[in-house]
């Protein structure tokens, strides 16, 4: 039995208008991929490659110039009260949290407004969500400023999961964390994926993270896909010159920066 497809992106193109009479900027050009339930796909490339713009279009935060984003479950539930089946976790969780609202109260408000829960049910669900990401009732009473960076990112993940998405977009979601905390969050994400079958669309320039958390990857360069396949195959046996350049840029043991003359 074939796996269920939860996301199909076909011929995606995004143009941004030029400034002061210059040329139109093509940020995404002909990007195509599918994502299956429980799958994990990375969009890889340097800054300006089009990976975040692609993710924002999938999340509904940008409108594509051309192409389609198909979410089968969204079509099935059209007209009913259900949040979009795609949620996004950003690099900086602090910006997505109300600095004056306690963590638990924020989750309760979200569950009541988007899932129609009564206060008691929302409170119970909020504590369960926090437990799912390794936090407890004490954390629910804290303000965002009272939490560490890793704890705030766990809260951001809990908020996204509260809406029961089929696709979770993680845009450089561990890039701002130190290595030890980064490993904890990646292990948490792997556990969530196994337990819930949510699919990940992982936006990153960190190839070590991509190798750990994803099954497949697309390499983007100037908005175009230059290579795609299983993550291990792409990273261990790259075919595109640009992919080889990305891998060659990763520091290795004994690496020393060259001095400029």
Tokens of 21: 């009479």
State how far the Cα of 257 lies from the Cα of 249, in Å rounded to an integer: 11
Question: pTM here?
Answer: 0.88
CB 224 within 8 A of CB 45: no
Taking only the tens of pLDDT, the chain with its 261 residues reads 457 999 999 999 999 988 777 788 999 999 999 999 999 999 999 988 999 999 999 999 999 999 999 998 765 555 555 667 899 998 888 888 889 999 999 999 999 998 889 999 999 999 999 999 999 999 999 999 999 988 999 999 999 999 999 999 999 888 878 888 888 888 899 999 988 889 999 999 889 889 999 999 999 999 999 999 999 999 999 999 999 999 988 766 655 655 544
Other Cβ atoms closer than 10 A to 201: 26
Instruction: Tell which residue, 209, 205, 229, has the closest CA to residue 217.
Output: 229
Please name the residue that has the structure tokens 């409170």. Answer: 123
- Domain boundaries along the sequence of the chain: 1-85+165-234, 89-164
State how far the Cα of 12 lies from the Cα of 29, in Å rounded to an integer: 6
Q: Which fold has domain 1-85+165-234?
A: Rossmann fold (3.40.50)
State how far the Cα of 146 lies from the Cα of 174, in Å rounded to an integer: 19
Helices (H) and strands (E) in the chain, counts: 10, 9
């Amino acid at each position: 039995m074939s796996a269920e497809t939860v996301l199909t992106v076909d011929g995606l193109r995004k143009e941004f208008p030029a400034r002061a009479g210059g040329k139109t900027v093509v940020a995404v050009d002909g990007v195509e991929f599918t994502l299956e339930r429980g799958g994990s796909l990375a969009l890889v490339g340097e800054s300006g490659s089009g990976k975040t713009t692609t993710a924002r279009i999938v999340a509904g935060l940008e409108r594509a110039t051309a192409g389609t984003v198909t979410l089968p479950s969204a079509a099935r539930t059209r007209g009913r009260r259900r949040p979009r089946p795609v949620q996004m976790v950003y690099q900086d969780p602090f910006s997505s949290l109300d600095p004056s609202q306690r963590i638990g109260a924020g989750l309760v408000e979200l569950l009541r407004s988007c899932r129609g829960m009564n206060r008691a049910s929302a409170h119970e669900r909020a504590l369960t969500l926090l437990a799912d990401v390794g936090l407890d009732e004490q954390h629910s009473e804290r303000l965002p400023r009272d939490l560490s960076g890793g704890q705030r990112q766990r809260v951001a993940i809990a908020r996204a999961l509260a809406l029961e998405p089929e696709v979770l977009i993680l845009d450089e979601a561990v890039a701002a964390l130190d290595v030890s905390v980064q490993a904890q969050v990646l292990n948490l994400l792997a556990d969530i994926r196994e337990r819930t079958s949510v699919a990940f669309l992982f936006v990153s320039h960190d190839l070590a993270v991509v190798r750990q958390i994803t099954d497949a990857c697309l390499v983007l360069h100037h908005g175009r896909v230059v290579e795609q396949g299983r993550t291990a195959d792409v990273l261990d046996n790259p075919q595109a010159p640009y992919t080889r350049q990305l891998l060659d840029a990763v520091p290795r043991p004994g690496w020393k920066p060259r001095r400029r003359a």
